[in-house]
Structure 1
Amino acid sequence: MTVVDTGPAVDAPMRKQLPPSMVERMTLIMDAFEGRTTRLSLEDVARRTRLPRSTAHRILDQLVRLRWLEHTPHGYGLGRRALGLGGDGTHNEIREAAAGRLHHMQIQTGMVVHLAVLDGAQIRYLDKIGGRFATSVPSCVGGRAPAHSTALGKAMLAWLAPEAVEAQMNEGMGRLTHRTIADTETLHQELNRIRQRRGLAFERGECVPGIACVAVAVRGPEGPVAALSLVGHARTPLEKVAPLVADAARHVSLHLFPGLETPGRAHHATAVQERATWSPQTLDRLLATGRNGDWL
């Protein structure tokens, strides 16, 4: 019985040039993914690598099984192992996408701005832009904090499945202050409130006494990839600046994942950042207090 390969036609001279070893073919496939936001179909991979479709499919399955790649309804993408090895490059991509919005938020409010990613039960700060309050906020680029005690962490955890949250919190939930959430039941209740607020996460004195924060996750097709926040002292009117954070997170998401608002994807509620409901005029009005210098 003859098996017919239904993939792209490859002429004889080209077949002779195909890499002979499995390692070389796997490398070809991994090189087809340019970054964490790249999503490719089987046909895309076969075309980019010039491998027969059946060969590409077989290797993709192995890479997914070994967690070098992941397979979602939106296609193949880099998996946990690949992102772990290339974390710095991935984080640079997120920093570059968020830089303009971070500076805009800091200028508009004079507050401290954070960018962070989720790393197990902790968050890792990728960027910090300070106002006059910066020295009172004990965070630093590259530093970490427990995810359950920060608005940044809770903003990202809110978009994970409950079982994934349980897995992330398997290291325990210690208290940093008397206000820190210290059990998973209370945490799940808080995450549900965050989802009901369209992703707005708040914390007042849960991580550091006297400091308050509002954060929103940057979301991609498979869930949260980062979060942005504004930080002030405990009496800061965070509700007034929350729309600015939500708007910034949405723009960063669309910068990283340009296809999120295409008609074919608009119905995926967990994948699409909600369209901004605040006009520039509304944002200006909400931020008028900040311009007068009395946020802090």
Structure 2
Amino acid sequence: MAEDVGESSTPSVLEKVALVLNAFEGPRSTLGLTDVVRHTGLAQSTVHRLMDQLVKIGWLGREGRRYFLGLRLLELGAFASHHNRIRRAALPHLIALHQETGHWAHLSVLDKAEVVYLEQIGNPRHSAIPYQVGARLPAHCTASGKALLAYGDATVEALLRQDFTPRTRQTIVRGDYLRSELATVRETGVAFDREECFSGVTCAAAPLRGAGRAVAAISLSRTAGYADLPRMANQVSRCARAVWASLFESGRRFAQADKDREPAPASDTDTVLSWLGYMDWS
């Protein structure tokens, strides 16, 4: 039973949504409106309004008067688990890459026309870069973004048919120029950012991929000059190959653990909670 939320507590909308979703942690995979009201301590009208909104966005489903965790929430849990597995496999290699080079090492993934940084390792006392974990940057002007776009899916074509807003004097602003650069990335296996996203910051990146799409990218950033870019390209390529090998090894371990584990029935609620348990909220 959740603690009662009094009127004086004035929880935020996000806190109220969290209370509603947490009501589904119990053994029952479907709940009625009264069950959720009793669990959350919120007013019935508030719970009803929030649950209707959650149904509309797919975080909850509804059959008659019963509610259950929606498919969209399960999908988000799966994405979080997938990204966290990549991050866990990459982290020791990113640390080693930073120690070897002294530069900032990053792990990023593609989300439509942006790259999202899942991890970065560096020493802010030695150098500073103008973004951090969780940052989103335009894919067309970052080394990681180019590495991912070069091995992306059909949605990349829509991006290449437009022009871009320049961020610096070096930014590629024409889609046909970017198309040509992505072809070079596919030939060499590495991508570069020559002060295209931030003045004074250069980058080299390599994709994490097998024979198909890139699932993530490893990159190195530095804040002074272009001289190291060829060396950085070799270093990120080696690191990306090592991370890819680690992902396969961890996949084999997970598969073996699943094979050895006694089968047990699990509800949808158990599944999404186990996915969310893999997330690193620090």
TM interval, short-chain normalised: 0.5 to 0.7
Question: Aligned-pair distance for 1:257?
Answer: 3.4
Contact 2:202 2:221 (8 Å CA) reproduced:
yes
Number of aligned pairs? 181
- Partners in 2 of 1:134 and 1:166 — Cα distance? 39
Give a deviation string over 1:262-286, Cα, whole Å, max 9, x none: xxxxxxxxxxxxxxxxxxxxxxxxx
The change in CA–CA distance for 1:205 and 1:117 in structure 2 (over 3 A counts) is same
1:1-296 matches, cutoff 5 A: 83-132=75-124, 136-160=128-152, 163-168=154-159, 173-197=164-188, 199-235=189-225, 236-257=227-248
Residues 122 and 153, structure 1, Cα contact 8 Å, conserved in 2: yes
Q: Is the 8 A contact 1:215 1:245 kept in 2?
A: yes
Checking the alignment, whether the CA contact within 8 Å between 2:170 and 2:196 is kept in structure 1 is yes
- Counterpart in 2 of 1:279? none
Question: Deviations along 1:40-64, whole A, 9 cap, x unmatched?
Answer: xxxxxxxxxxxxxxxxxxxxxxxxx
Are residues 218 and 83 of structure 1, via their aligned partners in 2, closer, same or farther at CA, if it must alter by over 3 Å?
farther
TM-score of the aligned structures, taking structure 2 as reference length? 0.58
Per the TM alignment, residue 88 of structure 1 is displaced from its structure 2 partner at its CA by 2.0
Secondary structure of 2:164's counterpart equals coil
Rounded Cα–Cα distance in structure 1 between residues aligned with 2:195 and 2:208: 23
Distance change >3 Å, CA 255–CA 184, structure 1 → 2: same
CA 1:149–1:83 in structure 2 vs 1: closer, same or farther (change >3 Å)? farther
Q: What is the root-mean-square deviation in Å for CA atoms of aligned residues?
A: 2.8
Residues 136-194 of structure 1 show CA distances to partners (whole Å, capped at 9, x for unaligned) of 31111111000001000001111135x43123567863211111111210010000111
Distance 2:77 2:148 in 1: 22
The answer to whether the 8 Å contact 2:163/2:175 transfers is no
Distance (Å, rounded) in 1 between the aligned partners of 2:125 and 2:190: 22
- Note if contact 1:112-1:134 (Cα within 8 Å) is conserved in structure 2: no
Listed one character per residue, the Cα deviations across residues 110-147 of structure 1 (whole Å, up to 9, x for unaligned) are 11111100000000000011135775311111110000
- Cα pair 1:113 1:231 within 8 Å, conserved: yes
Q: Secondary structure at the match of 1:209?
A: coil
Cross-structure match for 2:275: none
